[in-house]
Structure 1
Amino acid sequence: MPELSKLYDEADRLKSNGDLDGAAVKLEEALAIDEAYALAHAALAVVQQKRGLHDEAIQHAERVCQLEPRDAFSYTALSVTYQRAYAGTGDTKYIAMAEDAMDKSRRVEQGL
């Protein structure tokens, strides 16, 4: 796990410095070591969204929900990812997807 933490921290530093491409590379390296590293998927969703790669961002946000199905925040983050995809593309299909993800977040939070 130390290697994963190191890669994540380096990605976070690169992202903070505006190097989104570099951050994406580090996060992909972490996922090559452990594909189930939810934190890297969550960070990569944010990075890819900022890079305008909405489909990739959505894939990573959805993967977080698969890995952390009992975490309401994962679904909230997925909803935000869909909302940003709508804002970036104008594709209205993302509106319903965002609403569904928020509904799932509420249900998980309520233990349903």
Structure 2
Amino acid sequence: MSDEVRLYDEADQLKAAGELEEAAKKLGEAIAINDEYALAHSALAVVLQRMGKHEEALEHARKVSELEPMDPFSFTALSVTYQRAYAGTGNMDYIRLAEEAMERSRQLG
């Protein structure tokens, strides 16, 4: 098992235990090893979103769609991240971006 996969697995357990700060740290370490590890970026987006760090979460969700540009799920997840950012901030720009990401998902699917 590669180091980044081991770190991802550890982060997944930490996330399940509610230890979000530690999970984020492990995922960051996995990404430092392999910046193209889409699954780690996706998981980090979820963890950061739960922590209320919406802009950071969006950076990682966008990265997943860049790494996996033909995967409709990448854009569905990005849309959900935008929706949650809107819910957390009230920023209406996130609604438009969520709709754009969902449309991209539909085009690919």
Normalised TM-score (structure 2): 0.98
Matching of residue 9 in structure 1 with residue 9 in structure 2: yes
- Give CA-to-partner distance per residue, 1:80-103, whole Å, 9 cap, x none: 000000000001110000000000
* Residue segments in structure 2 that go unaligned for 5+ positions in a row: none
Q: Aligned partners of 1:36 and 1:47: how far apart in 2?
A: 18
Q: Aligned partners of 1:65 and 1:84: how far apart in 2?
A: 17
Aligned residues: 109
Query: What's 1:86 paired with?
Result: 86
Aligned residue type for 1:24: A
Query: What's 2:56 paired with?
Result: 56
The Cα RMSD (Å) is 0.7
Query: What's 1:96 paired with?
Result: 96
Per the TM alignment, residue 108 of structure 1 is displaced from its structure 2 partner at its CA by 1.0
Q: Aligned partners of 1:50 and 1:9: how far apart in 2?
A: 18
Identity across matched positions, percent: 61
User: After the TM superposition, which segments of 4 or more aligned residues of structure 1 sit over 4 Å from their partners?
Assistant: none
Aligned residue type for 1:66: E
- Map residues 30-41 of structure 1 onto 2, 5 A cutoff: 30-41=30-41
Normalised TM-score (structure 1): 0.96
Query: What's 2:20 paired with?
Result: 20
Query: What's 1:72 paired with?
Result: 72
- Give CA-to-partner distance per residue, 1:23-52, whole Å, 9 cap, x none: 000000001100110000000000000000
Per the TM alignment, residue 4 of structure 1 is displaced from its structure 2 partner at its CA by 1.2
